[in-house]
Amino acid sequence: MARSATPEFPPARLISSTQELEAALAPFHNESFVTVDTEFMREQTYWPELCLVQIGATHDIVLIDALAEGIDLTPLKNLFADTSVLKVFHAARQDLEIFLHLFDALPTPLFDTQVAAMVAGFGDQVGYDSLVGSLTGHMIDKSHRFTDWSVRPLSPAQLTYAAGDVTWLRLVYERLVKKLEQEQRLDWVAAEMAELEDPATFRPDPEKQWERLRARTNNRRMLAVLRAIAALREREAQRVNVPRQRLVKDESLLEIAATTPATSEALTRVRGVSRGLAEGRTGQALLQAIKQAQALPDSELPRSPRNKSKDTPRPSASLVALLKVLLTSCCEKHDVAPRLVASTDDLDALALDPSQPHAVLAGWRRKVFGETAQALCEGKIALCVKSGRVVAIPQNTDVPSA
C-alpha cells in the first residue's frame, strides 16, 4: 500500500484549565465523530490514574492535562454524553473503564476500531500500530509507549506522540467504515458494540473474585471463606485505591482461607500479611469476613468450579474439535476473526445441544458459522479437503455444498 501523507492539522493544543477546556471542546459538538485516546498510569493504584486525554476533530487536536491543578473535566463529560457525536476508540476497554469510574457513565455512542478490524478481516485483537500500517502505510512512533505520563511538564516529543494517536485514528476509522460498508458489515460492528456500552462489562463483581484463584480443594467451607475474603479484598482495594495484589497477595488469601485465623496475632503468621495490615481496618474486616463465612449454613456454601464442571454434561471432544476446524474454515471464507464469532464455551454448548438458542445461531454469526455448525452437529454435513481447503459437503455426497 502506498504511504499516506501525514494528515494536516494545526499543532495540538495542551489544555490545562477548565475555561480552556470548555472553549476548546465547544466546536467538537458539531462534529459527526471525534477520536479519543488516553494516557494513564496503573502500577500503584487499583483505578487507572488518568494523565492525559487526546481528542481529535476534523481540523483540531486537543490534549487535556487531566492532572492540571484545579481542572474540571465536566466539558469532556458533556461531550461524551452528546449522542450526536460518535466517539471513536481503538481497543477501548481500558479507556472506557477510566471514564466510567470518572464520570459514572460511558461515552455514547462509541465505535471501537479494534473490534471493527476483527470484523473486517485484520485478525484477532490487531494492534493499533499494525492497523495504521495496514490501512495507511504509516509507521507509528513507539518511542513513548512506556513513558511516565504522570511526570510534569510533558515534553514536546511526548505531546507529538500523544497527538499522533488520535490523528491517524481518524484515517483508520474512515477507511474501516468504507471497507465495512462495501462488504455490508457495518451492522455486524454495531451488534458488537452492545457489550462495550454496558457498564457491567467494566465493573467486576467482588463476589466472583474467588473463582479466579483456582483453589485446589473441594472443601466447601474453605471455599466460602475464600469467597468472603476475596470479595472483601476487592472492595478494600477499590476503597483505598491500591492494586489488589499489593493489598493482600493471592497466595496469602489462599492460606488465610485454609487456616482461618481468628485473631490479629494469628493473621500476622500468614506469609505476606504485615502486623500493620492485620491490626488495622483491613485486617479486622478480614477476620469478620472469616467469622461470617464460617457461620453460613451448608446450603449457602459454594461448590468448586471444578466440581461444577464435573457435574455438567460434557460434549464429545471429537465433535468440539471438528467445530473448531469448521470455525476456522468459515472465518477464512468470510475473512473475519474466529474469536469474534465463537468462544470455546460457545462451541462446547453447541456440541452439547445444537437445538438451543445459542449466540452463534443469532444475527450475523448464524450466516458466517452457526447455521453450518448446527448442520454439522446434526449429522447433515461432513467435512472434507478440496483444493487444499476444508469444505462442508452434504452427508453421503462428494460434491461441496454451495
Q: 188 to each of 127, 333, 340, how far by Cα in Å? A: 20, 16, 10
Supply the pTM of this predicted model: 0.87
In what helix (H) or strand (E) does residue 281 lie, and over which residues does it extend?
Answer: helix 281-294
Model pLDDT, residue 399: 46
Distance, CA of 354 to CA of 339 (rounded, Å): 19
Q: Which CATH superfamily is domain 13-201 in?
A: Ribonuclease H-like superfamily/Ribonuclease H (3.30.420.10)
Place of cell 471455599: 223
Model pLDDT, residue 125: 82
> In the sheet where 49-56 sits, what is the strand order?
13-15, 61-65, 49-56, 33-41, 86-89, 110-112
Query: 92 and 114 in contact (C-beta within 8 Å)?
Result: yes
Which ranges of 241-269 does DSSP label H, i.e. alpha helix?
244-247, 250-259, 264-268
Q: How many CA atoms lie within 13 A of 364 on its CB side?
A: 16
Distance, CA of 368 to CA of 341 (rounded, Å): 8
Domain boundaries in the chain? 13-201, 206-295, 317-394
The model's pLDDT over 127-185, given as tens digits with 9 standing for 90+, comes to 999 999 999 988 887 777 788 999 999 999 999 999 998 999 999 999 999 999 999 99
Distance, CA of 131 to CA of 171 (rounded, Å): 11
- Phi and psi torsions of 355, nearest 5°: -85, -10
**Cell numbers standing for residue 293:** 463465612
Fold classification of 317-394 (topology level): DNA polymerase; domain 1 (1.10.150)
Residues of the chain with pLDDT below 50 are 1-4, 399, 402
- Phi and psi torsions of 108, nearest 5°: -150, 140
Cα 317 versus chain centre, distance: 29
The model's pLDDT over 268-314, given as tens digits with 9 standing for 90+, comes to 999 999 999 999 999 999 999 999 999 999 999 999 876 655 556 88
Read out DSSP for 55-121?
EE-SS-EEEEETTSTT---HHHHHHHH-TTSEEEESS-HHHHHHHHHHHSS--SSEEEHHHHHHHTT
Distance, CA of 370 to CA of 356 (rounded, Å): 12
CATH architecture of 206-295: Orthogonal Bundle (1.10)
Q: Please list, in sequence order, all residues whose beta carbon lies within 8 angstroms of the beta carbon of residue 296, skipping any fewer than 6 positions away.
A: 224
3 state DSSP class of 389: strand
Same fold for the pair 13-201 and 317-394: no
